[in-house]
Amino acid sequence: MDKVVIHIAGLDFRPVQNSTIEHDYYMMEHVQAAGLDNCHKDPEETAEEFALRILAGLMKGGRVFPVLAGLFIPAGTEDLDWTLTVAKETEAHLRTVTDAEDKAVIHGQVVALLMNFFQLGITSLTTSRKSSGEAAGDTEIGDS
């Protein structure tokens, strides 16, 4: 399988394809913190206003960096070797980018992230979450 390589400020990264449960929880935490888990277009919002609001939530407080650090892994690192340390190192690297071309690569990845997020179905994510929550209300941990 061909792997996409993303070159940013002297380092090569690639998308994580196969994740650990720790990675899954890390991503859930940061997607929620960025407000991407429960975003709905207000009836009075234009599509552009909605997109800008979602983008602002992702950018607020630098929330974009941990999300990107969960999506990318240094090239040459196996997916299952992803750790919080790897994520923090990736995040630190992305935060210090100064070159205009490297910034453009990051901007492009953020746009791709948002496009993919919506293409994968924010509606199904929130619907699934609601359904899971309703079912979870009927069962307690430890029930057989």
pTM listed for this prediction: 0.73
> pLDDT at position 120, please?
52
Percent of the chain with pLDDT strictly greater than 70? 77
Q: Is 73 in a helix, a strand, or coil?
A: strand
Contact 9, 92 (CB under 8 A): no
CB atoms within 10 A of CB 11: 15
Rounded mean pLDDT, 53-79:
89
The lowest-confidence range among 3-7, 62-66, 138-142 is 138-142
Assess whether pLDDT exceeds 50 at residue 143.
no
Residue 121 sits at the vertex; the CA angle it makes with 120 and 124, to the nearest 5 degrees, is 130
Assess whether pLDDT exceeds 70 at residue 87.
yes
Long-range CB contacts for residues 88-93, cutoff 8 Å, separation at least 24: 90/13, 91/65, 91/66, 93/8, 93/9, 93/11
Separation CA 117–CA 97 (nearest Å):
24
> pLDDT at position 128, please?
45
> pLDDT at position 96, please?
96
Mean pLDDT of the chain: 80
Which of 101, 86, 87 lies closest to 9, judged by CA? 101
